[in-house]
Chains A and B, each alone.
Chain A
């Protein structure tokens, strides 16, 4: 058994912000990617004009702008979210363990499965930053098509242009209950019946996590963590 002062579950934007605020903390993340809540959902973010409260969240926002991953119209390149968050976390020397899943929580003890096998982590304080389930969620795809399609609803899908002309983040609403098999089948079936104006569009990828819309954009999530949001268990 390993002991820590504090453990944050989830190295998503909220979790990284929270860990940076708390200090002396171990962050455990089930995936091998930071910021999965945006980076793996294809949630490209909105409401970018709302300034973060916290300077360190503002720093991440500047990184997005400096690396031209966010333009003045609020269009983003989701591909930038995770690598830039990694740079942000490394600067703060956060202690992150990737590919480490919580299997069960018993009081102050976590049964976890890491790359080295199963183990027990114990902490004085445990914070849960994993996204909370909601009655509705989204499965977002990335599609290529003719340049210049306006943002907005088209049939079952809501389109939003990415930073690259002719590339779109395409949202489909699901029920909070839907499993992956059902949601994926629905996406493909509806895509096959997409409106005629989208005939030339090609689906490139679907997000590999559902978008639970807990925060409007990554900076807002990071800011929330830095302000101390994220449930203490």
Chain B
């Protein structure tokens, strides 16, 4: 029953998950000999055993993912199944077997063999025996860059301020009697590369699944039903990205830098779906989009570039799952199921072409061959114009409305400074048009609207834009963010006042944006740095300063001030200001993840 694997393959796929299963099938369909190594016992990874079946909004998935998804839907509709999870495992596996893919479940990749900078094979453990096989191309679809790390590829890690990733979910599968799916909530942060922190966090957060009464149904994550099992995937949203020949960045998307990138071979449609609730620690351009314009729900076409899959300086290996070569910001978009399937397909086809050419060098595969195999899906980036290409009259109308996001972004994208200034000057103080024009100006680095921005902060402007279906940001603290973005030194007292206001509504957002604004002003204005440093030091050393934020889809409001205290400590260290912040944080009740961060902070003093 248990056929032995061969000793040589065109393509080895490590990880039979959302991207990897499609990659294996795509390569198999191209006639390549394919071996899959999977640590678990099924295909589909997070999209099956991890309980996350859906494709986030947008058009139906395209290419091979679309074809297979149609088969899964048809099988579910034929009856006998409560949801797609089990059907997905089965159909992916059958599709792979049909094209001759060898699948080895419950295997552990242990070593990647190489000659110089060329990957030549894999060693893995199976039933406690070390096995090995050679390959022309190894596709690392482990989502955690397992093979890329073993081989020594360079890695990119988390956001620039503190290296952290999005929150994770200690995934539990739940049934409403008809259908089973993963509970999609936030359990906090995890460090999946540190064995102690990882294990402790998994054990700590298992407590989220301890119920008073397992026999009763309840409503969790907006769904009535009950838990049926923990998943054997930990529910991690983000981790390392591999430094590839090209790394797609948020600047490429929003600063018009994409024109310098190599030709895309495919496009994926998704939104920048962050789970971050400590937004002021994210990159400025990301906050421009999320906070400045409340664009969370806006979907865009993102290019898939062959060079995003090829680890820099390596031959015979591809990074094709959520750890592909994109930055932290873009990673929050392309990690979605639809994009992962498409990226898996690109990797499978590319690997097969490179292997069949005998050289395994994915960069020398003629791009036209690759594109032809990917059905030549036309360039979709033009459709993004609907978001940022509004004509000038539509921009003005949008700024006057309660859905100003596209107008703000179009004004920014088209650099409509003159129009914005004119509208700002003509509009009544406090009006939508004047405030939104001031916000768009600030996104362009123009200070013409600072009075209106300050007024919005003083008023604690409670207007909530309706641009996204949720996760919009109140205008009051969005304006606070923008004043920080302008490094507005004249707002210094205003920032201090916000932080002294303990009774402020939305204290968490106001306080954290004020901290970030102070840091920016301190960095830009050295004459003010000492005063800012002293204020921040006292704040971060004050045990009474407490900030809490809700974890998505839970009723849990854990403390988050420790992360901002540690951010302040890191900044003060750069500014050469001694402080006791690390000790203060360590004296707080902390989970395993945050304790490790605090210990690291103390160690680097």
Contact = CB atoms under 8 A, between A and B. Distances in A.
Interface string A167-207: 10000000101111110110010011010000001111110
Interface stretch (B188-196, B284-292, B492-500): B188-196
B207 A179 contact: no
A67 B211 contact: yes
Contacts of B177: 144, 164, 166-167
Interface in B172-204: 172-173, 175, 177-180, 192-196, 198-199, 202-204
Nearest to B75: A188
Interface stretch (B228-236, B242-250, B504-512): B228-236
A101 B108 contact: yes
A79 B2 contact: no
B110 A113 contact: yes
Nearest to B208: A83
Interface stretch (B123-131, B336-344, B351-359, B536-544): B123-131
B150 interface: yes
A163 B85 contact: no
Contacts of B567: none
Interface of B is mostly: mixed
A209 B40 CA distance: 9
B213 interface: yes
Interface in B90-120: 90, 93-94, 97, 103, 105, 108-111
Nearest to A29: B199
A77 B226 contact: yes
A192 B204 CA distance: 41
B129 A209 contact: no
Interface string A70-95: 01000001111011101101100000
A78 to B, nearest CB: 6
B150 A180 contact: no
Report the 3 A-B pairs with minimum CB-CB distance, sorted nearest first: A103-B125, A86-B206, A202-B82
Given A33-B232, A90-B203, A67 B214 contact: yes
Interface in A100-138: 100-105, 111, 113-118
Nearest to A98: B199
Contacts of A90: 203-204
A191 B80 CA distance: 8
B217 to A, nearest CB: 8
Contact of A97 (B42, B89, B195): B195
Nearest to A194: B80
A83 to B, nearest CB: 4
Contact of B108 (A103, A177, A181, A208): A103
Contact of B229 (A68, A79, A89): A79
Nearest to A166: B177
Interface of B: 1-2, 39-42, 49, 79-83, 85-86, 89-90, 93-94, 97, 103, 105, 108-111, 124-125, 128-130, 144, 149-150, 172-173, 175, 177-180, 192-196, 198-199, 202-204, 206-217, 226-234
Nearest to A102: B128
B64 to A, nearest CB: 20
A219 interface: no
Contacts of B228: 77-79, 142, 167, 204-205
14 contacts: A68-B216, A77-B215, A78-B229, A79-B172, A80-B211, A103-B124, A141-B86, A177-B1, A181-B97, A181-B103, A188-B90, A192-B80, A202-B178, A204-B86
Interface string A32-50: 1110100110100000000
A71 to B, nearest CB: 7
B1 A178 contact: yes
A177 B226 CA distance: 34
Interface of A is mostly: mixed
A87 B206 contact: yes
A167 B206 contact: no
A41 to B, nearest CB: 10
A143 B86 CA distance: 11
A119 B177 CA distance: 44
A96 B203 contact: yes
B111 A40 contact: no
A214 interface: no
Nearest to B205: A86
Nearest to B130: A104
Nearest to B206: A86
Contacts of B93: 181, 184
Given A87-B210, A100-B195, 12 more contacts: A33-B232, A67-B213, A77-B226, A80-B211, A103-B130, A118-B150, A144-B175, A163-B214, A177-B1, A184-B90, A201-B80, A204-B83
B125 A104 contact: yes
Contacts of A113: 108-110, 125
Nearest to A110: B128
Contacts of A166: 177
Contacts of B103: 180-181
A102 B108 CA distance: 8
A84 B210 contact: yes
